[in-house]
Amino acid sequence: MRRRKFITFLGGAIAWPIAVRGQPAMRHVAVVMATAANNPDGRAQLEGFLQGFQKLGWAEGRNVRIDVRWAGGSAERMHEFVEEFVALKPDVIVANGSPTVAALKRANSSIPVVFVLIVEPVVQGFVASMARPGGNITGFTQVDFSVVGKSVETLKTIAPKLNRIGLMYNPDTYFFYDTYLRALQADASRVVETTRAGVRSPADIDTVIAEIAAQPDGGLAVLPDTFNTGNQATIRAALERHRLPHIVPWRQYVAGGGLMSYGPDFVDIFRRSADYVDRILKGAKPAELPVQAPTKFELTINLKTAKALGLTVPPALLARADVVIE
């Protein structure tokens, strides 16, 4: 796909030509992204989906129309986009963000939905089970509970003096995340004390980070909810201001000056989701497509930021890293 064409495509709704005799029928796919349109992680994730979709034989303007909406971390905007797309009745809706999936669950029982980067879909009531979702919804989670404590353990490795790590999350959007938090705290308790650091508004971010930084040997693990994803710039500014060791789930954040990231390869998950959209467009039923967990994980380290924080990265940790930023 040529770059100019792709950038235009990412921007949102596009008027597509009407199919003429001899051309395949035009299918319609709607996408709701949880991030803002200028978020580099969100752009990379959508690009992963589009590239995977293109490899499966779908070409925009030829056999598929794709409408993209960007919520910027706002649950209210996600609900608005759900109303819009339910009225348009696309063939498939790709839903990024639990508020989007929850709204779709309430408003629609017929349009197939493929969710991406969702936590605890059974607990949230989106699917009946991971193996057999039932209904019209299936998709891809962003948590593998067998590795939930790895981020805290990794931060402790780079900053061995840490004795207390705050887990930043939004209690209003993480109501379904208690299983994750309990597993994370149980796993991490082997190496460090963890505390829950709730933030409900952008104004809370600096306050919470300042409280952690005010006590010696503290650090922060930022969890991957839609609120944190939509407020990365505010989180970065507060962490830089208070010089707090930290680990985040977003690789692009580290490229912009963050210390380190560990988590699933979100771009790979979006790329894999294209296969489910393709299969549904060809007749598969979401009820029979099992929910899938992440299969690829990435560790990114920014050596410049580590040095600025007075931290030395152990050679063994460097050897494990997928990306090292000099």
pLDDT at 97: 86
Task: Tell me the pLDDT tens digit for each residue of 54-92.
Answer: 999 999 999 999 999 999 888 899 999 999 999 999 999
Q: Quick one: average pLDDT of 198-203?
A: 93
Higher pLDDT residue, 220 or 40? 220
Who's near 166: CB < 8 A, 6+ residues apart?
194, 195, 196, 197, 208, 212, 218, 219, 220, 221
Which of 191, 197, 199 is closest to 150 using CA atoms? 191
Q: Please tell me if the domain spanning 3-143+265-296 has the same topology as the one spanning 145-264+298-325.
A: yes
Tens digits of residue pLDDT in 149-159: 788 889 999 99
Work out the widest C-alpha separation in the chain, in whole angstroms. Answer: 71
CATH architecture of the domain with range 145-264+298-325:
3-Layer(aba) Sandwich (3.40)
CA angle 252, 258, 263 (to 5 degrees): 55
Burial (CB count <10 Å: 0-12, 13-18, 19+), residue 137: buried
What are the residue ranges spanned by the domains of the chain? 3-143+265-296, 145-264+298-325
**Which pairs with CB-CB distance under 8 Å and at least 24 residues apart come from 79-86?**
79/103, 81/32, 82/32, 82/107, 82/108, 83/107, 85/30, 85/32, 85/111, 86/111
Topology (CATH level 3) of domain 3-143+265-296 = Rossmann fold (3.40.50)
Helix then strand then coil, % of the chain, to nearest 5: 40, 20, 40
Q: Name the pLDDT band for 172 (thresholds 50, 70, 90).
A: confident
Question: What's the mean pLDDT in 119-147?
Answer: 90
Residue with token string 């840490």: 162
